[in-house]
Amino acid sequence: MKYANNIWQAGSKPLHVGLLLLDESNTLSLAAAVDPMRACNRRADRRLFSWQFLSQAGQPVHLTSGMTVQTEELRGFAGDLLILVAGFRLEAQCTPPLIAALRRYVADGCQLWGVDGGSWIMAQAGLLDGHRATCHWEDAEAFSRRFPSVNLVPDRYAISAPFATTGGASPCIDLMLHLITCRHGRALSERVASAFIYDPLHTGDAPQQMIATTRISSKHPRIARVLKQMENLIDSPPTIAALARAN
């Protein structure tokens, strides 16, 4: 299918985004999707994005932090990009009506993104078969077993039009900044990133980091290098002797 509105093309027309929330989503995942749009509007001093919070039936959505988000009913959404934010209890919430709604929006030409557990819901709906996609690294093994037709990659985010998926909250910020860059230029996306003191900017194919090595590397760079090598070679781990020789 050819999509009438290529959301990645430069243009001044505001992009209307639907944020489809499931119960027990993480607050940071939601913020990573919506706050870059808010900051972009503020830095540009004009409305470049508009959005609305959605759920299947328009009911309040309860996040893991204890916050409750008031939403509108999904079927009333008319936009070019739908971002599915999900966290826990994915199986219970992946209902036939939700799957049917997602398939219908995609068939109608809407772009669909999945944040955190959103990629699991999209795969369950059969939408990601044959597409590159990513998920949180903790779920990668189970995801690849459950959905062998999906080309699962360990990237921070993956774009395979009309879909995009992220490995969690922080990679969602990267994806949103990439969207801002494509639509409105690098200078504006860097100003948005600076508003969050978000540095460095990551490309989509940067691998998810399973071990936080930033603080370690400043005091123990050799240990940090070994940890990174172990992470990169987790499927065929080297011996301790080989790691010692390499470092």
Kindly state whether residues 121 and 160 are assigned to the same domain: yes
Kindly state whether residues 175 and 239 are assigned to the same domain: no
* Assigned domain for 181 exists: yes
Domain that holds residue 229: 214-246
Kindly state whether residues 148 and 220 are assigned to the same domain: no
Enter the tokens of residue 244: 């010692």
CA distance 71 to 109: 23
For 155-189, the pLDDT digits (tens) are 899 999 999 999 889 899 999 999 999 999 999 99
For 180-195, the pLDDT digits (tens) are 999 999 999 999 999 9
Query: Given this model, what pLDDT does residue 114 score?
Result: 97
Single-letter amino acid code for the residue at 103: R
Kindly state whether residues 37 and 97 are assigned to the same domain: yes
Kindly state whether residues 120 and 239 are assigned to the same domain: no
What is the CB-side half-sphere exposure of residue 175 using CA atoms within 13 A? 29
Domain CATH number, residue 103: 3.40.50.880
Kindly state whether residues 117 and 25 are assigned to the same domain: yes
pLDDT-above-90 percentage for the chain: 68
Residue 86 contacts residue 22 (beta carbons within 8 Å): yes
Kindly state whether residues 218 and 151 are assigned to the same domain: no
Query: Given this model, what pLDDT does residue 214 score?
Result: 47
The single residue listed with the structure tokens 């999209």 is 122
Kindly state whether residues 109 and 173 are assigned to the same domain: yes
Average pLDDT on 104-121 reads 95
Instruction: Tell whether the model's pLDDT for residue 4 goes beyond 50.
Output: no
**pTM of the entire structure?**
0.82
Average pLDDT on 8-29 reads 93
**Choice among 59-63, 110-114, 198-202, 204-208 with the minimum mean pLDDT:** 204-208
Instruction: List, as one string, the DSSP characters of 159-215.
Output: EETTEEEESSHHHHHHHHHHHHHHHH-HHHHHHHHHHTT--S---TTSBP-SS--HH
Domain count, the chain: 2
Instruction: Tell whether the model's pLDDT for residue 207 goes beyond 50.
Output: yes
Enter the tokens of residue 174: 């990267």
